[in-house]
Amino acid sequence: MKLWRTIWNTKGVGRWALLIGLALTLVFVVFAIFAPVIAPYDFAQTRVDGVKFPKVAHPGGDYLFGTSGDFYDVFSRVVWGSRTALEVIILSVIFAGVIGVPLGLLSGFIGGKVDKLLVFFMDALYSFPSLLLAIVFAFLLRDKVGGGVVSAALSLTAIYIPQYFRVVRNTTVSAREATYVEAARAIGAGPFTIMRKYLFANVVQSVPVIATLNAADALGTLAALGFLGLGIQPTEAAEWGYDIQVGLSYAQGGVWWPSLFPAMAIILLITALTFVGEGLNETVNPALRRRRMKTVTFPDRTVVAGGTDVTADVAAEGKNS
Amino acid sequence: MLTKRDPTARPGPVIETENLEVHFQLQGGALARVFGLKARRVKALDGVNIALQRGEVLGLVGESGSGKTTLGRALLGLVPSTDGRIVYHAPDGPRQVSEMRGRELRQLRTDLQMVFQDPSAALNPSMTIAEAVGHPLVIHKIAKGAELRRRVNESLERVGLAPVERFANKYPSDLSGGQKQRAVIARAIILDPEVLVADEPISMLDMSVRAKILQLMLDLKNDLGLSYLYITHDLASAKYFCDRIAIMYLGRIVEIGPTAEIFANPRHPYTKALLKAIPEPDPTRMVPRDLPRGEIPDAAEPPLGCSFHPRCSEAVAECGWESRDLRVVLEQHWTRRSADYDAERKLVGDLDKLDRPETTATLGAGDPERTLALLDKVRAENPDEPLWKGVRSLESDGRAVQISFEEGVDPALRRAGGVEVACVLYPDEGAGAGATGAAGGTTAGSDGSG
């Protein structure tokens, strides 16, 4: 509730970025939820009533965005693709948060050797190029989990854990020294009670901002994985990156629609999520926040009920005293 | 349940320390850590013997860095002690706080509680007042549900946060400093403890609410039979609040006794200085204040002998004068306009070797006769400087000036009139009677090894 009020009271660029971002994201969320209703065909459907779709049919007519080289309806793929994208984003952000936040809390609170080791490991992980890391994990997970949404989300998770870890760990290290933590110890709280009841709520405040910014990044990485053929298999779910890659081989011959529409979707969603992240950052971060102020309007200086001017009244009082 | 406990039912100390030491390892610089050099140790508490009687308010007074907060935290086991013992006389027999770990230590917190200096920092910003006050009961699994609510309300009402509905669901940021401190006190008393360590509970509050909080604490003490260790740097509030006062300096207790006696007849020069430092509300009655000079010394390398001697106005020969004091005197001299710094600095030579605490010093890079003359001049400038009382010999060995100081005495806490004091000016008056300490529940202080 408090957060909504803060968001509502902001002004300027942050506010507009947030609102535009939220509106755009909402469009994709609607696509994702109502994909079976909105999309005319299934994502892996290549024929209707036993009749195969035409190959690379021009946009318009029966096929809003045309059809692609492997006989898919591009519009249906884009709509279904937003469901895949949001599923992967949400899963990877949740996974990364669920692992990264407690690990950071633990590391920052315990300190010492455990902390040093974890920080070293996370920094090593963080210093890898994120795409490379995702590729490695995608390879490893493909044998174990398969080429579906979950394995794609898991390979992205590995990239983002260090970010949550670092932020939470650093805030924990400073919050650990706070008097209220010592006070908690003084009333007999054990280490887990302190972490859960005293530190957690005070260190997770910056996590939503990282989560939204990561979401945008995750989408890009997911598309890159798909483009390289390492992401979600086309039969498992519609994935924009894969569609771009397939469409690209036809682009030479002037067939632009199979890759343009998924690419547009990626760009729009990434922009939307970045707007939300930046807007949220500006809104939630008090150092950047500017409040919307009501314009102050003074009452008219005309005659009021008593028959005297307000200012004259005040002046008269001043004289009397 | 907040019930009255009769403090007179079981006389004797409720908690006492025996030669308690808390030393902190200093981290040292980056180089020292890389090469594993010997880390310096700060002696935050250096052999403290103190006993808190049941039902009394014992004030612990001292400057910043005197170790008073560390003592309070050590009593609760929040800081591990490096040596000595802390004994808590629980209803079911004495228990050693200094030996406790983990669960046992946490269990102890139902009996010993703490009130913190900064009420804004002592409350979790993301917990409501009711949650924060009731949390000790939840942690120790004493109450839940309706019973928890009832006891939280009772405790909040007890500290004057009434009507409870107005405060229970507020966050700390919604309350004023005084209200927050009341909530902190409510949290401390909800477990029905025996001892409350109050670490400067009013120093962060507005003047207008200080007296109210102190009055609240006195009421609670009388109603619930609490014993307080009241830590403060403010002697004026200690006078109002305490039955006995212990003056701390650099990790030691230098004087301890009944409040009235301390105020009427302060014995230790440090106590006198602290009393003189109490602000006088009437500007026309300015009293001469010979406040102690300088700052509290480095606790990692305390002065030899009595640690107060470099700042003491009554210091005598055996106070433990040493080479570092000589450096201070020389540097003092150079702040005068009459001093010819460049020439004299060259004459004196390396000053850094004076920084090792020793009772002998070698001074002078030039003609030793001229160095002697310089020292004479410095002495003539301020003949009252107590350092010169401690100089045993001052002579030239042909190349440099050799100075040797009287061997210092590290005074132990000894009986003097109604109080106990650790100062060479008050030699053991009970020597004839054979009583070297234990009186009023307080045993002799420093062990003299320093």
For residue B9, the model assigns a pLDDT of 64
User: Would the CB atoms of A185 and B123 count as touching at under 8 Å?
Assistant: no
Same domain for B325 and B391: yes
Six token digits for residue A99: 């692992």
Q: Is residue B302 part of a domain?
A: no
Q: Domain spanning A2-320: which CATH class is it, in words?
A: mainly alpha
Range of the domain at B348: 321-405
Contact A197 B109 (CB under 8 A): no
Distance separating alpha carbons of residues B140 and B148, to the nearest angstrom: 12
Q: Is residue B151 part of a domain?
A: no
For residue A190, the chain B residues in CB contact (below 8 A) are: 103, 106, 139
Closest CA to B42 of B26, B62, B27: B26
Residue with tokens 């081989």: A249
One-letter identity of residue B204? M
Identify the pLDDT of residue B137: 92
**For testing contact with chain A, the best of B79, B133, B139 (most A CBs within 10 A):** B139
Residues of chain A contacting residue B79, judged by C-beta atoms under 8 Å apart: none
* Three-class secondary structure of residue B360 per DSSP: strand
B447 pLDDT tier (thresholds 50, 70, 90): very low
Last residue of a domain, one of B243, B264, B285: B264
Same domain (yes/no): B352, B211: no
pLDDT for position A241: 85
Put simply, the answer to whether B121 touches A188 (Cβ < 8 Å) is: no
What is the identity of the amino acid at A307? Answer: G
- Whether B99 and B223 map to the same domain: the answer is yes
Amino acid A310: pLDDT = 47
Averaged confidence pLDDT in chain B: 82
- Whether residue B41 lies inside any domain: the answer is yes
In tens, the pLDDT along A198-229 reads 898 888 877 888 888 888 888 888 888 888 88
Flag the least confident range among A145-149, B216-220, B400-404.
Answer: A145-149
Rounded average pLDDT over A53-77 = 74
CATH of the domain at B63: 3.40.50.300
Q: Does B80 touch chain A (CB under 8 A)?
A: no
pLDDT at A319 over 60: no
The structure tokens listed for B417 are 């009139």
Same-domain pairing of B325 and B253: no
pLDDT > 70: what percent of chain B? 88
Among B225, B248, B264, give the residue marking a domain's end. Answer: B264
Do the domain assignments include residue B224? yes
Largest CA distance in chain A: 99
By C-alpha distance, the chain B residue nearest A197 is: B127
Partners of B94 in beta bridges: B89
Contact list, B199 vs chain A (CB under 8 Å): none
Residues 6+ apart with CB under 8 A from A70: A46, A234, A246
Measure in Å the smallest separation between the Cα of A91 and chain B Cα atoms.
28
* DSSP type of residue B113: E
Partner residue opposite B126 with nearest CB, options A186, A189, A201: A201
State how far residue B338 is from chain A, nearest Cα, in angstroms: 50
3-state secondary structure (DSSP) of residue B44 = strand
The string of pLDDT tens digits covering residues B282-314 is 777 666 666 777 777 877 788 888 888 888 888
pLDDT (average), residues A286-290 = 56
Instruction: Please give the Cα distance from B56 to B218 (Å, whole number).
Output: 10
Q: Quick one: how many helices (H) and strands (E) in chain B?
A: 15, 15
- Within a domain: residue B133? no
Interface test with B, best of A2, A179, A195 (most B CBs within 10 A): A179
Residue A165 backbone phi and psi in degrees, to 5 = -55, -50
Using the beta-carbon criterion (under 8 Å), do A202 and B127 form an inter-chain contact?
Answer: no
Q: Is the pLDDT of residue B236 over 80?
A: yes
- What pairs with residue B196 in β-bridges? B113, B228
**What domain count does chain B have?**
2
Measured at the CA of A224, the angle between CA A223 and CA A230, to 5 degrees, comes to: 95
Domain termination residue (choose one: B242, B264, B286): B264
Residue A202: list chain B partners with CB under 8 A.
Answer: 124-126
Query: Are residues B257 and B330 located together in one domain of the fold?
Result: no
**Residue A104: per-residue pLDDT:** 93
| Residue contact A188–B184, C-beta within 8 A | no
Average pLDDT over residues B218-240: 90
CB pairs under 8 A between A and B: 62
Do B89 and B197 lie in one domain? The reply is: yes
CB atoms within 10 A of CB B265: 14
pLDDT at A250 over 90: no
- Alpha-carbon distance of B15 to B13, in angstroms, equals 5
Domain boundaries, given as residue ranges, for chain A: 2-320
pLDDT bin (cut points 50, 70, 90) of residue A231 is confident
Q: Quick one: which of B290, B293, B311 has its CA closest to B302?
A: B311
Predicted local distance difference test score (pLDDT) of residue B288:
63
Q: What is the model's pLDDT at position B352?
A: 80
DSSP state of B448: S
A269 vs A313, which has greater pLDDT? A269
In a domain, B227, yes or no: yes
With respect to residue B304, please indicate whether it lies within any of the assigned structural domains.
no
- SS3 assignment, position B53: strand
Of the candidates B404, B382, B383, the one whose C-alpha atom is nearest the C-alpha of residue B393 is B404
Q: Look at A187 and B135 and tell me if their CB atoms are within 8 Å.
A: yes
* pLDDT of B245 over the 90 cut: yes
Which positions ≥6 away from B334 have C-beta within 8 Å? B341, B344, B345
Q: pLDDT tens digit string along B343-372?
A: 888 777 777 877 878 888 887 777 778 888
Model pLDDT, residue B407? 83
Q: How confident is the model at residue B429 (pLDDT cuts 50, 70, 90)?
A: low
> Does residue B280 lie within any of the structural domains?
no
State whether B104 and B243 are in the same domain. Answer: yes
**Nearest CB to A186; choose among B103, B114, B140:** B114
| Residue B101 and residue B27 share a domain | yes
Q: Is A180 near chain B, with CB under 8 Å?
A: yes
Interface test with A, best of B117, B126, B137 (most A CBs within 10 A): B126
Residue B104 vs residues A190, A192, A197, B78: alpha-carbon distances, Å: 11, 16, 21, 13
Q: Is B136 an interface residue toward A (CB < 8 Å)?
A: yes
